[in-house]
Copies of this chain bind each other. A is one copy, B any other.
Amino acid sequence: MNNPDLDRLFNPESFAMIGASSKPGKWGSIILINILKANFLGKVYPINPTVKSILGIKCYPKVADVPGPIDVAMITTPAKTVSALIDECGKKGIPNVIVVTSDFSESGPEGTRMEKEIVEKAQSYGIHIVGPNTMGIFSAKTNLHALMPMVMPQYGGISMFSQSGNVGVQMLDYGVKENVGFDKFVSSGNEGDLNCVDYLKYFAQDDDTKVIMGYVEGVDAATDFLPVARKISREKPIIIMKGGRTNVGTKAAASHSGSMAGSARINRAAFQQAGIVSTNTSLELIDTVKAFANYPLPKGKRVGIVTRGGGWGVLAADACEEAGLEVPALSDELIKEMNKLLPDYWSRDNPVDLVASIAGDPMPTCLSLLAEWEGIDAIIALGAGFRSYAYNYSEEVKGPKELLEIITFLSEYFKEGTKKPDQNLELIGKLVKTTGKPIISVSIGSEYSQRQFFEDYEIISFPTPERAVRVLKHMCDYRRFLNSPAE
């Protein structure tokens, strides 16, 4: 039952919704709405004996009544009805059943008994079960949004499994805000049958998945998650957030997912050995997958910092050193080149402080010089998008005619900002491609939203230097793992 072919599960041509409903308060309604709203590319068969049609779609009384084959059935009806429905699915030859229904092993001994019963029955039919107690699955290729929550994920190269439905779907939701795109998502629920190791293996061999992401609670030495991950992580990054890192968290996890999570220290070391990129906070998780999915890895841990503001350079340098990254001094040659651009009293050091020079902007040349210098592996660019910001501000100002006349100087002053695309941001996108070095922008002032940075220029931007450093640290650690000899 391990490592099954899950292609039909994630990319079904036909999907039966058992418990489809038009009644308020039924998950069978909400999920159906989500599926239709997302324009699922396959056929949908609502199954409900009490109505003839739902949303204008013909409704079938039973699974057996559906004319064609069914790749996936989803069940949302009460726990006591599930066992008989598995029989119906088995007789119909359905290979995958997603059991959204709760009140199984998470609810006590009777639920555990029922879960065992439906899983054994499913296995006797050769059915794979997702869940029970899952919040559903998502797949970009077929526009399959078979999810309980009301989130429409951004599409991209990340695939995620989650031992918490809520944490998982909030990551999809963060992704919408932060422009982080997903290819597949599965809430693994109670893992009565298919578990995280199955999804991990499937994502590993799936060409559409560039980065594997996971939230786990019950992963420790007792499962084969780590040995499997250790092999995969040489080929594809695996980025995990672990819940249950502490005593009180472990107790909560045991109550939540029934997991027997080990201590934080054991997990962290074991994750590291397996080449897993491990994050502790949810924001760190979404930032990290975004960078891994869209940027090249740095070759080493030497970071160049260019900044429009001295204080931000100080904070970025502090964050780098605290994270174990290097901020190397500049070469004499580089200093000589930058002397031509910057005021006499510039720092002649890394961070390169542009000392508020905006007119005749030295940012693009300094960025290029630094990116092309062999002495650094990655760049943090603080305030690169400032021109666009200043221009947008000047556009927003309203006032008496004379005030407006003066204000036009702003758009003159930041003239390059008036052009779209912003030359500095476009340059960063280009340098990332030509030098193969990750250049992370940090916005000073409101500038663009983080979304726009990525959408307009394909560059990654964070609102604070600390978030940029945290992500670079993970990229450097993973690069070091890849450079280490395989066992």
Contact = CB atoms under 8 A, between A and B. Distances in A.
Contacts of A413: 24-25
B102 A249 contact: no
Nearest to A327: B248
A305 to B, nearest CB: 8
A243 B314 contact: yes
Interface stretch (A11-19, A202-210, A340-348): A340-348
A222 to B, nearest CB: 19
Nearest to A247: B321
A331 interface: no
B55 A403 contact: yes
Interface in A74-111: 102, 106-108, 111
B256 A445 contact: no
Interface residues of A, number: 101
Interface string A168-201: 1110011011000000000000000000000000
A388 interface: no
Contacts of A420: none
Contacts of A166: 308-312, 383, 444
B108 A345 contact: yes
Contacts of A275: none
B245 A322 contact: yes
A131 interface: no
A246 B255 CA distance: 42
Contacts of A157: none
Interface in A16-34: 22-25, 29-30, 33
A311 B409 contact: no
Contacts of A351: 252
A169 B311 CA distance: 11
Interface stretch (A65-73, A364-372, A393-401): A393-401
Q: Which of A280, A383, A464 has the most CB of B within 10 A?
A: A464
B311 A397 contact: no
Contact of A312 (B167, B245, B464): B167
Given A151-B445, A282-B465, A321-B246, A403 B36 contact: yes
A162 B173 CA distance: 35
B400 A314 contact: no
B255 A311 contact: no
A465 B281 CA distance: 9
Contacts of A52: none
B353 A249 contact: no
A289 interface: no
Interface in A342-400: 343-345, 347, 349, 351, 353, 356, 359, 383, 390, 393, 397, 399-400
A343 B170 CA distance: 24
Interface string A305-334: 000111111110111111000010000000
Interface string A143-169: 000000111000000000011111111
Given A252-B351, A318-B245, A349-B252, A30 B313 contact: no
A394 to B, nearest CB: 8
A430 B24 CA distance: 31
A244 interface: yes
A388 to B, nearest CB: 13
B256 A310 contact: yes
Contact of A150 (B173, B177, B393): B393
A251 interface: yes
27 contacts: A24-B413, A25-B359, A29-B406, A55-B406, A56-B402, A106-B345, A150-B390, A150-B445, A163-B311, A166-B308, A167-B311, A167-B312, A170-B312, A174-B463, A177-B446, A215-B311, A246-B317, A246-B321, A252-B310, A252-B313, A252-B353, A255-B310, A256-B314, A256-B353, A281-B464, A282-B464, A283-B467
Q: Rank and list the top 6 A-B pairs by shortest CB-CB distance, nearest first.
A: A164-B311, A166-B309, A24-B409, A256-B310, A249-B318, A246-B321
